Structure 1
Amino acid sequence: MPNALPAAYTITPPNRPLTGRVSPPGSKSITNRALLLAALAEGTSRLTGALKSKDTVLMARALREMGVMVQEPDATSFLVTSTGRLQAPEEALFLGNAGTATRFLTAAVATIEGTVVVDGDEDMRLRPIKPLVDALKSLGIDAQSPTGCPPVTLRGTGRFGSGRVEIDASLSSQYVSALLVAAPFGDGPIEVDLTGKDIGARGYVDLTLAAMRAFGAEVESRDDGSWLVQPTGYQATDFHIEPDASAATYLWGIEALTGGKIDLGVPADAFTQPDAAAQAVIATFPDMPGVIDGSQMQDAVPTIAVVAAFSNRPVRFVGIANLRVKETDRIRAVANELNRIRPGLAVEEGDDLVVNADPALAGQSRPARIETYHDHRIAMSFALAGLLVKDITILDPACTGKTYPEYWDMLANLGVHLTPAA
């Protein structure tokens, strides 16, 4: 597979079970958490099993711009050396459409003495960040976001405040995680409380807490919506990153749709990431449940929805309103592209997505050029449709570099024929 990908790939259905061994890349979510925590820890930390993709490259670059030494001794490792404090960068931090990096750094740079601007591309500038900015303001931090989305300007004094802070996490759990990661730099203990019990993908907060504790933080979970963080700072450590469960969902989808067997080298129950719950749902194919709650496995929903298009009964996805503020409006994107394959295949009902399953699609020729909206998950999910339906073309395949740069190589190595298209 060439380094420079074509404008599009047309997928030829393999017409056989796909089998083999595939090692998913390291977890994007955990890699970005570990990079930032290592940068906030005094000393040298070695991160192994890490993901090297567009999102993690943007995080590493931003950390370097703030005085942190980030070395890359091999393809899956980072060596991070820091004084334990970030320095004001000379220019605005540009983070593309990397939501994790943007939200986490917005809180972390509030510990800096000086002015920092956190910015992203045109898509990131449409993604809300106001709840996090409001929480930072309540701690006495000068944070400004005129549009409620990036760019955010922070004028720090080197102090992060203390006491109780409320956060509305109904749009994203990343707001909570961002506050928690920065809280050990408080002038005293910081209590982080949800304004309500609604929180997007709570399991990702658990990932954050586990990583924080590995780097020496003292954080107590008081109940479902409250955490107390002590002002300990962080300690450098060696940290291993598990494979990416969101990437694994595509492999589980390949197994289900082709009747094959992919050895991931790690069982589904060994993952600590929320999206691992998708394996049990995908394994019910072709008799998938009529209602699927995607609230705690949000990044897996596009994968499951494409698999559901070939199931034996319609499937309604609920609890997925937060998908409207991801890299793109994923509810609309999935519905649009399923309907491009066959009109009426999907319907938006409020913030629910109904997939009107049609197993007879398998083996048909349904010429469709799938728009990917600069969204890696739309590209990778809809490639699965091309395993059963002829003449599916995926536009902008390079967008998968955000989290899974080897995705198309992986398909080709399993025997899927990809034809470059204009």
Structure 2
Amino acid sequence: MSTDQLTIHPTAQPLKGKVSPPGSKSITNRALLLAGLAKGTSRLTGALKSDDTRYMAEALRAMGVTVNEPDPTTFVVTSSGQLKPPAHPLFLGNAGTATRFLTAAVALGHGRYVVDGDQHMRKRPIQPLVEALRSLGVSVEAPSGCPPVTIEATGRFETNRVVIDAGLSSQYVSALLMAAACAAEPFEIELAGADIGARGYIDLTLAAMRAFGANVEQPSASVWRIQPTGYTATDFHIEPDASAATYLWGAEVLTGGAIDIGTPATAFTQPDAKAYDVISAFPHMPAVIDGSQMQDAIPTIAVLAAFNETPVRFVGIANLRVKECDRIRALSTGLNTIRDGLAREEGDDLLVASDPGLAGQTLPARIDSFADHRIAMSFALAGLKIDGITILDPGCVAKTYPDYWDAMASLGVTLERG
């Protein structure tokens, strides 16, 4: 649905039905890259087909990898194991995973690679990864500290050890981990300091790497040792997206419904599944919620917090300022558009005032999604209880959940296109 705006009308009945969330974006983009680095043919099933994963697939094609799509949830990837220099810059939209992962992966290629994105991606930091690659002897330039990144690759790292600052994003570590298995000798990655983005995403990376034949050890919480095994083509199944599931869990508790997503919360390996316990506590969610290990779930929980019985403070969410948009600012702006004073920022914390009395009111509010899929999808939940909620640029959900609005309509939600 690519309309400019979409108004959600409150539902008088609990939402009930079955909705299957799409495959995990995080796992799909990891698996696509690893399949592209593996010699042979890999079959990826349960995959997400969205803007972010299509950018990754197109980039691999531009570097000589064959990527076929026999059905809506499968990629068949055939590769020589080498990523050839593309004829043109790799355009990756606002896909952070694809941009960070490929920047490290092509550093072991041969030739010139330019990794670029849209206006939003060009504001997202990549300097810590650039500095780490430079320390390995890679010729890499990113004048703004954000994409575009230009890499002149010689096929090897000059040293076999790197220290990376992952305070802004765990994706920097994941990028180096995946590339390291293709190095010429055993490789060691160490964190600079204890801070790291959601560590659970590194666990996803390690699991995917091992599925494709990598040998990785972790002698301490801040050190990884990777053997130079390269990757072996394999068949790999991708679990549903836990971040997408949070919207359905939120819709369920907000309306007192029963939505079957086909996968128990306990079966997810993604870090955002931790949000299930917090969401299940609604309308008695805790006074302080640490979002550091479930960052993509925070927009969902923050909108639910507006209807909680007691105020909620979100901490550990500084990294949300460098996502697809400044999500802390976008959440406070959207909540205050609904009612002034509903949220405020204190440093990098977000405070949501909470008022169960919002439910049933008519509060016309045009919510700026800032072209961020998670802002659009989370604020749609407010429209289930408040009349007058309009989401601007609803088509941005195509980034990770193209069928989101259809899924909501299938549950009985009335949507008015503008």
AA at the equivalent of 1:122? Q
Q: How many residues align?
A: 418
**Is 1:80 aligned to residue 71 of structure 2?**
no
- Residue 324 of structure 2 aligns to a residue whose secondary structure is coil
**Is 1:143 aligned to residue 140 of structure 2?**
yes
AA at the equivalent of 1:110? A
Counterpart pick for 2:394 among 378, 392, 397: 397
Match of 1:116?
A: 113
Deviation at 1:159, TM superposition (A): 1.3
Counterpart pick for 2:264 among 256, 263, 267: 267
AA at the equivalent of 1:226? V
1:23-422 superposed matches below 5 A: 23-421=20-418
Q: Is the 8 A contact 1:162 1:187 kept in 2?
A: no
- Residue 287 of structure 1 aligns to a residue whose secondary structure is coil
Query: What is the RMSD computed on CA atoms of the aligned residues?
Result: 0.6
2:285 and 2:216 mapped to 1: Cα distance? 39
AA at the equivalent of 2:233? A
Deviation at 1:158, TM superposition (A): 1.2
1:65-105 per-residue CA deviation (whole Å, 9 max, x = no partner) reads 00000000100000000001110000100001000000000
AA at the equivalent of 1:310? F
1:224 and 1:28 mapped to 2: Cα distance? 26
Q: Is the 8 A contact 2:242 2:268 kept in 1?
A: yes
Deviation at 1:333, TM superposition (A): 0.3
Deviation at 1:240, TM superposition (A): 0.2
- Residue 47 of structure 1 aligns to a residue whose secondary structure is strand
Deviation at 1:5, TM superposition (A): 2.5
- Residue 168 of structure 1 aligns to a residue whose secondary structure is strand
AA at the equivalent of 1:84? G
1:368 and 1:103 mapped to 2: Cα distance? 35
Deviation at 1:184, TM superposition (A): 1.1
Q: Which runs of 5+ in 1 are unaligned?
A: none
TM-score by length of 2: 0.99
Deviation at 1:6, TM superposition (A): 1.6
1:160-213 per-residue CA deviation (whole Å, 9 max, x = no partner) reads 344210000000000000000000121211100000111000000000000000
Deviation at 1:15, TM superposition (A): 1.4
AA at the equivalent of 2:23? G
1:17 and 1:324 mapped to 2: Cα distance? 34
- Residue 195 of structure 1 aligns to a residue whose secondary structure is strand
**Is 1:12 aligned to residue 9 of structure 2?**
yes
AA at the equivalent of 1:6? T
2:142 and 2:271 mapped to 1: Cα distance? 30
Q: Is the 8 A contact 2:137 2:159 kept in 1?
A: no
Deviation at 1:222, TM superposition (A): 1.4
1:85 and 1:100 mapped to 2: Cα distance? 20
AA at the equivalent of 1:259? G
Identity %: 69
2:217 and 2:135 mapped to 1: Cα distance? 21
Q: Which runs of 5+ in 2 are unaligned?
A: none
AA at the equivalent of 1:214? A
Deviation at 1:330, TM superposition (A): 0.2
2:159 and 2:39 mapped to 1: Cα distance? 22
1:369-399 per-residue CA deviation (whole Å, 9 max, x = no partner) reads 0000010000000000000000100111100
2:40 and 2:182 mapped to 1: Cα distance? 16
AA at the equivalent of 2:397? T
AA at the equivalent of 2:9? T
1:312 and 1:46 mapped to 2: Cα distance? 47
Q: Is the 8 A contact 1:169 1:198 kept in 2?
A: yes
- Residue 405 of structure 1 aligns to a residue whose secondary structure is coil
Q: Is the 8 A contact 1:161 1:186 kept in 2?
A: no
